[in-house]
Amino acid sequence: MSGANPARGEAELRIAGEMLVLRPSFSALVAAEGSWGRCSP
């Protein structure tokens, strides 16, 4: 899997030389879509 996808709310974080990808939970994505409406790419 490649790096973070900002369009999906993902972020990269380097800790002790290791790159980690942080991803929002499904419930967080659903809540964001409900409050902001669906976004077109």
Secondary structure of the chain in HEC code, one letter for each residue: CCCCCHHHCCEEEEECCEEEEECCCHHHHHHHHHHHCCCCC
Do 23 and 9 form a contact (C-beta atoms < 8 A)? yes
- Give bridge partners of residue 17 from the DSSP assignment: none
Res 40: pLDDT: 55
Which residue do the tokens 């942080």 mark?
22
The pLDDT score that the predictor gives to residue 17 is: 94
Return the pLDDT at 20. 94
Question: Could you give the C-alpha distances from 15 to 4, 30, 34, in angstroms and in order?
Answer: 15, 29, 33
Q: What are the pLDDT digits (tens) for 1-41? A: 568 998 888 999 999 999 999 999 989 888 887 776 655 55
pTM: 0.56
